[in-house]
Amino acid sequence: MKIKKSLAISETGFVFDPSTGDSYTLNPTALEIIQLLKKDYPPEEVKKALTQKYDVDESTFERYFYDFTGMLKQMQLVAPDEK
């Protein structure tokens, strides 16, 4: 999954989509995930990084991760060919 290149993501978790004018606020975990996705980390790598860092099992992480990425798609924050 590739995040839209034009998205502006601040260190405080503020996301601005300049093509629609929409803005969003991320919690620290979501920010960490979106930063990895922006660096083109595949989902498996994201899972690995997060489950190693935090006390969360893989299946729980996956559930929340796919919920989150589904939301990103719905909000059209992913690159067009990834929709």
Partner 1 sequence: MKSDRLKIAISGLNNVDSPGPGIPVIRGIRESNNFQSRIVGIAYENLEPGPYMHEFVDKTYKVPYPSEGVEPLMDRIKYIHNREKIDVFIPNFDSEIFVFIKLADRLKDMGIQTFLPTLHQFEERHKSNLPAFGKKHGIKVPDSYPVTSASEIFELVSDHKMEYPMVVKGIFYDAFIASNSEQAAIYFNKISAKWGLPVVVQEFVKGTEVNVVSLGNGTGKTIGAVPMRKQYITDKGKAWGGITLDDPSMIDYTHKLIASTKWRGGIELELIRTADNELYLIEINPRLPAWVYLAVAARQNLPEAMVQLATGNTVEPFTEYAIGKMFIRYSFDMICNLDEFQQLSTTGEL
Question: Interior CA angle at 3 toward 77 and 79, to 5°?
Answer: 70
Task: Specify the stretch interacting with partner 1 by CB under 8 A; choose among 11-19, 32-40, 46-54, 61-69.
Answer: 11-19
Regarding 20 and contact with partner 1 (CB under 8 A), the answer is: yes
- Helices 43-53 and 28-38 meet at what angle, rounded to 10? 140
Q: Cβ(13)–Cβ(27) under 8 Å?
A: yes
Among 8, 39, 63, 70, binds partner 1 (CB under 8 A): 8
Per-residue binder mask for partner 1 (CB under 8 A), 25-44, x = binder: --------------------
